[in-house]
């Protein structure tokens, strides 16, 4: 259904620039699951979204809003086109830096910044969550301190420039291009903000290079020292700056928004607030919070999921088809068409969430309910390319004979580094028992694709929406070519890494 608009101005008068999400949601509810406008096609239902998530038919489309952000972040991970070389290079190098085991190692830094927040009183929640998230990302990922809580009540200049930059990109995205072109002063201000932000990022890189003896196993260190396993290339300094800026801008904005909306919903839902407080008292009590407590805070986890449903961190994402397609059985779309998924509407689809879809009800997000949600009905982080999951689901039985110093082979398939880390940890445990001498290697490096006989073979791997990790593709093709009893006599076990809930989110693992 087409959304009526004014000549030249389109629907600009229907959009509240101070509350863009809710005013757009109002338009989405007024029309149908697929709203056709002059410059975009807006998707509002889970059923249509599921079609668009088929990566064999559709691919990422850098929409006008993202195109505006490229003036600052260039081809960083968030704003890059799929075909750009630096996207593939950065993706392969940086995804392992965000593996679950690496994230666990960041907890002390997260706790450090959270304590600074709690020591500040009274709180200006939205501003202080901005300080918290920016400082946390900078410290965890780059070992850099903005010290936002020690700036005499004012923001760090980087934050001021970043907020103006994002606001201007949002404003330009809602204005007709001929009006945006007339805003010369705003464009000049934006360029100054971009220059300041990139200068700060460049200083972070320079400072780390000058103190390279103080080796830090963090995101910045990965960008500075790693080389791509496929091409042998390293990231250029400009690409490193692009991605530092991407993580600081995108990471802080999404997390601070989540925290702000979560507190808002708790304040407007006293029953949920009481349950959350009771859970924290029961689980943590008067102890100092540790990372082990987090998995026990089930209700808080449900609160965050429900907040992300109603106010997703990524308001939407855009795709375009590889060839002409019919979606929903009746809507024709063509290559180059911008199919804009509006997640706030998708997440309130009554066909999935019922008549109370607009209500904040954390109970619907407990694991037992969350796992039963239809695929693609909860995608608060957009349609990010699949990432590895964290928790082991099971270990198949291993038939073996105990022989002192027996050889063992451990193969791993891993994009994020989680399975690789688990494989090495398993090798250490097995070797420490004095019974095994373990060889650890990627699945694709097994000689002639022949699994060794007469010794245990353990495979540690995850999958990515049914596809193998980058370093297991050839191994999987070899497996698919086997016939009959080709594996007979081989003692093997498979340790499958994943989480049941990730099949319902952007991290779809098997």
What CATH number does the domain containing 50 carry? 1.10.630.10
Domain shared by 199 and 322, yes or no: yes
Is there a domain that residue 375 lies in?
A: no
pLDDT of residue 401: 30
Domain shared by 191 and 254, yes or no: yes
Domain shared by 348 and 463, yes or no: no
Domain shared by 492 and 365, yes or no: no
| Number of structural domains found in the chain | 2
Is there a domain that residue 383 lies in?
A: no
pLDDT of residue 251: 78
Closest among 319, 300, 423 to 362, alpha carbons compared: 300
CA 466 to chain centre: 19
pLDDT of residue 493: 92
pLDDT of residue 363: 97
pLDDT of residue 402: 29
Is there a domain that residue 7 lies in?
A: no
Beta strands in 40-96 (DSSP E): 41-43, 58-60
Neighbour tally for 69: CB within 10 Å = 22
Domain shared by 108 and 70, yes or no: yes
Domain shared by 404 and 276, yes or no: no
Is there a domain that residue 387 lies in?
A: no
Q: Are 416 and 458 in contact (CB under 8 A)?
A: no
Beta strands in 398-499 (DSSP E): 406-413, 436-442, 456-461, 491-497
Is there a domain that residue 24 lies in?
A: yes
Per-residue pLDDT of the chain (510 residues; tens, 9 = 90+): 555 555 545 565 566 656 656 666 666 666 555 544 445 788 999 999 999 988 889 988 877 567 777 888 888 877 777 778 887 788 777 777 776 677 788 889 998 998 888 887 677 888 889 889 999 999 988 888 888 888 766 788 898 898 898 888 878 777 777 777 788 898 899 999 999 999 999 999 998 888 765 557 788 988 888 887 777 888 899 999 999 998 888 777 788 999 999 999 999 999 999 999 999 999 999 998 898 898 899 999 999 999 999 999 878 888 999 999 999 999 999 998 989 999 999 999 999 999 999 999 999 999 999 989 998 999 988 775 433 332 222 222 222 232 335 788 999 998 877 888 788 878 877 765 556 778 888 998 886 567 888 889 999 998 877 788 888 998 998 888 888 788 888 889 999 887 665 554 434 444
Domain shared by 496 and 353, yes or no: no
pLDDT of residue 65: 66
For residue 330, give its domain range: 12-370
Is there a domain that residue 234 lies in?
A: yes
Is there a domain that residue 257 lies in?
A: yes
What CATH number has the domain bearing residue 430? Answer: 3.40.50.360
| DSSP of 2-21 | BPP-BTTTBTGGG--TTSHH
Domain shared by 66 and 196, yes or no: yes
pLDDT of residue 37: 47
pLDDT of residue 509: 47
pLDDT of residue 394: 24
Domain shared by 353 and 478, yes or no: no
Q: Are 66 and 233 in contact (CB under 8 A)?
A: no
Choosing from 370, 403, 432, the residue where a domain stops is 370
pLDDT of residue 193: 94
pLDDT of residue 261: 94
Domain shared by 437 and 316, yes or no: no
Domain shared by 357 and 491, yes or no: no
pLDDT of residue 453: 84
pLDDT of residue 506: 39
Q: Are 132 and 117 in contact (CB under 8 A)?
A: yes
Is there a domain that residue 227 lies in?
A: yes
pLDDT of residue 306: 97
pLDDT of residue 11: 60
Choosing from 339, 370, 401, the residue where a domain stops is 370
pLDDT of residue 399: 22
Q: Are 497 and 422 in contact (CB under 8 A)?
A: yes
Choosing from 370, 404, 426, the residue where a domain stops is 370
pLDDT of residue 84: 80
Domain shared by 66 and 97, yes or no: yes
pLDDT of residue 398: 24
- CB within 8 A of 119, min separation 6: which ones? 149
């Amino acid at each position: 259904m087409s959304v009526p608009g004014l000549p030249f101005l389109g629907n600009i008068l229907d959009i509240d620039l101070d509350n863009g999400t809710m005013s757009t949601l109002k338009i989405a509810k007024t029309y149908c699951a697929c709203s056709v406008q002059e410059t975009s096609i807006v998707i509002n239902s889970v059923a249509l979204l599921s079609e668009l998530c088929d990566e064999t038919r559709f691919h990422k489309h850098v929409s006008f809003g993202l195109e505006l952000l490229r003036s600052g972040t260039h081809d960083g991970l968030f704003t890059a086109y799929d075909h750009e070389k630096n996207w593939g290079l950065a993706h392969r190098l940086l995804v392992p830096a965000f593996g679950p085991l690496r994230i666990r190692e960041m907890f002390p830094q997260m706790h450090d910044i959270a304590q600074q927040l709690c020591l500040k009183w009274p709180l200006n929640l939205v501003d202080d969550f901005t300080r918290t998230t920016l400082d946390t990302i900078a410290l965890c990922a780059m070992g850099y301190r903005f010290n936002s809580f020690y700036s005499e009540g004012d923001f760090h200049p980087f934050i001021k420039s970043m907020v103006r930059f994002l606001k201007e990109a949002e404003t330009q995205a809602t204005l007709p291009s001929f009006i945006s072109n007339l805003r010369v002063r705003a464009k000049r201000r934006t360029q100054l903000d971009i220059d300041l932000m990139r200068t700060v990022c460049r200083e972070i890189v320079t400072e780390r290079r000058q103190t390279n003896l103080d080796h830090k196993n963090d995101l910045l260190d990965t960008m500075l020292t790693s080389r791509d396993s496929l091409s042998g290339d390293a990231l250029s300094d400009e690409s490193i700056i692009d991605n530092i800026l991407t993580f600081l801008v995108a990471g802080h904005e999404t997390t601070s928004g989540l925290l702000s909306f979560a507190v808002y919903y708790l304040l407007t839902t006293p029953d949920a607030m009481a349950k959350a407080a009771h859970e924290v008292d029961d689980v943590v009590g008067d102890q100092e919070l540790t990372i082990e407590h987090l998995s026990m805070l089930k209700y808080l986890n449900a609160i965050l999921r429900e907040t992300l449903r109603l106010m997703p961190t990524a308001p939407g994402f855009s795709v375009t088809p590889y060839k002409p397609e019919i979606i929903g059985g009746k809507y024709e779309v063509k290559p180059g068409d911008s199919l804009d998924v509006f997640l706030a509407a998708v997440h309130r689809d009554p066909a999935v969430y019922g008549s109370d879809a607009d209500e904040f009800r954390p109970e619907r997000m407990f694991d037992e309910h969350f796992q039963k949600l239809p695929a693609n009905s909860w995608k608060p982080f957009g349609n990010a390319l699949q990432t590895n999951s964290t928790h082991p689901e099971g270990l198949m039985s291993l038939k073996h004979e105990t022989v002192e110093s027996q050889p063992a082979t451990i193969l791993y398939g891993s994009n994020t580094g989680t399975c690789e880390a688990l494989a090495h940890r398993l090798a250490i445990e097995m070797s420490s028992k004095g019974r095994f001498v373990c060889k650890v290697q990627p699945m694709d490096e097994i000689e002639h694709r022949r699994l060794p006989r007469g010794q245990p073979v353990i495979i540690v791997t995850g999958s990515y929406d049914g596809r193998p990790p980058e370093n297991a593709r050839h191994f999987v093709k070899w497996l698919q070519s086997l016939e009959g009893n080709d594996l007979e006599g081989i003692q093997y076990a498979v340790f499958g890494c994943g989480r049941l809930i990730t099949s319902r989110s952007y991290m779809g693992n098997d």
